[in-house]
Amino acid sequence: MIDLVQLRREPDEVGAALARRGVDESSVREVVALDVEHRRLLQEAESLRARVKELSRRVGEARKNKEADADQLQSEARELSDLEREARQRCDEVGENLRARLLQLPNVPSPETPDGRDENDNVEVRRWWPGMEDDQPPVEYAEWQRRPHWDVAMDLGILDLETGAKLAGSMFPLFRGDGARLLRALTAFALDRHRDAYEEIRPPSVALTETMMSTGHLPKSADDMYEIPRDDLWLIPTAEVPLTSLRRGEILDPDQLPLRYTAATACFRREAGAAGRDTRGLLRVHEFDKVELFAYCHPDHWREAFDDVLARAEGLLRALRLTYRVLDLCAGDLGTSSARTVDLEVYSPGVDRWLEVSSVSWFRDFQARRANVRFREGDSTRFVNTVNGSALAWARIWAALVETGRRPDGSVEIPEVLSGYLGGQRVIEARA
Residues 309 and 323: their CA atoms lie apart, in Å, by 19
Q: Report pLDDT for 31.
A: 94
| CB-CB contact of 204 with 238 (8 Å) | no
Q: Report pLDDT for 57.
A: 83
Mean pLDDT of 358-376: 97
Strand partners, 127: 325
Superfamily holding 119-428: Bira Bifunctional Protein; Domain 2 (3.30.930.10)
Mean pLDDT of 316-329: 98
Residues 330 and 367: their CA atoms lie apart, in Å, by 20
Residue-range domain boundaries for the chain? 4-104, 119-428
Buried b (16+ CB within 10 A) or exposed e, 64-86: eeeeeebeebbebbeebbeebee
Percent of the chain's residues with pLDDT above 70: 98
Provide the terminal-to-terminal Cα distance of the chain, rounded to the nearest Å: 56
Residues 345 and 132: their CA atoms lie apart, in Å, by 17
> Among 376, 398, 385, 171, which residue's Cα sits nearest to residue 287?
171
Q: Report pLDDT for 276.
A: 56
Close Cβ partners of 247 (under 8 Å, ≥ 6 residues apart): 259, 296, 371, 373
Strand partners, 427: 413
Q: What is the CATH number of domain 4-104?
A: 1.10.287.40
> Among 101, 96, 92, 127, which residue's Cα sits nearest to residue 31?
101
> Among 309, 210, 296, which residue's Cα sits nearest to residue 250?
296
Model confidence pLDDT, tens digit, residues 224-278: 999 999 999 999 999 999 999 999 999 999 999 999 999 999 999 998 655 555 7
Model confidence pLDDT, tens digit, residues 58-81: 878 877 777 777 778 788 878 888
Close Cβ partners of 115 (under 8 Å, ≥ 6 residues apart): 20, 121, 330, 331
Mean pLDDT of 9-32: 94
Q: Give backbone dihedrals phi and psi of 221, rounded to 5 degrees, phi first.
A: -110, 30
Model confidence pLDDT, tens digit, residues 98-138: 999 999 999 999 999 999 999 999 999 999 999 999 999 99
Residues 391 and 317: their CA atoms lie apart, in Å, by 9
* Residues assigned a catalytic role: 269, 284, 356, 359, 396
Residues 14 and 421: their CA atoms lie apart, in Å, by 50
pTM attached to this predicted model: 0.92
pLDDT category of residue 339 using cuts at 50, 70 and 90: very high
Q: Report pLDDT for 275.
A: 55
Query: What order of strands is seen across the sheet that includes strand 206-208?
Result: 206-208, 233-235, 226-228
Higher pLDDT among residues 287 and 59, named by residue: 287
Model confidence pLDDT, tens digit, residues 290-322: 999 999 999 999 999 999 999 999 999 999 999
Query: Poorest-confidence range of 208-217, 226-235, 266-275, 355-364?
Result: 266-275
Whether the per-residue pLDDT at 4 is higher than 80: the answer is yes
Burial class (CB in 10 A: 0-12, 13-18, 19+), 288: buried
Q: Report pLDDT for 272.
A: 64
Three-class SS of the chain: CCCHHHHHHCHHHHHHHHHCCCCCHHHHHHHHHHHHHHHHHHHHHHHHHHHHHHHHHHHHHHHHCCCCCHHHHHHHHHHHHHHHHHHHHHHHHHHHHHHHHHHHCCCCCCCCCCCCCCHHHCEEEEEECCCHHHCCCCCCCCHHHCCCHHHHHHHHCCECHHHHHHHHCCCCCCECHHHHHHHHHHHHHHHHHHCCCCEEECCCCEEEHHHHHHHCCCCCCHHHCEEEHHHCEEECCCCHHHHHCCCCCCEECHHHCCEEEEEEEEEECCCHHHCCCCCCCCCCCCEEEEEEEEEEECHHHHHHHHHHHHHHHHHHHHHCCCCEEEEECCHHHCCCCCCEEEEEEEEECCCCEEEEEEEEEECCCHHHHHHCCEEEECCEEEECEEEEEEEEEHHHHHHHHHHHCECCCCCEECCHHHHHHHCCCCEECCCC
> Among 341, 330, 344, 346, which residue's Cα sits nearest to residue 398?
346
Cα–Cα–Cα angle for 284, 290, 296, nearest 5°?
125
Whether the per-residue pLDDT at 350 is higher than 80: the answer is yes
Residues 345 and 348: their CA atoms lie apart, in Å, by 9
Whether the per-residue pLDDT at 391 is higher than 80: the answer is yes
Residues 65 and 44: their CA atoms lie apart, in Å, by 31
Mean pLDDT of 421-427: 96
Q: Report pLDDT for 432.
A: 66
Q: How far is CA 383 from the centre of its chain?
A: 18
Higher pLDDT among residues 205 and 74, named by residue: 205
Mean pLDDT of 148-169: 97
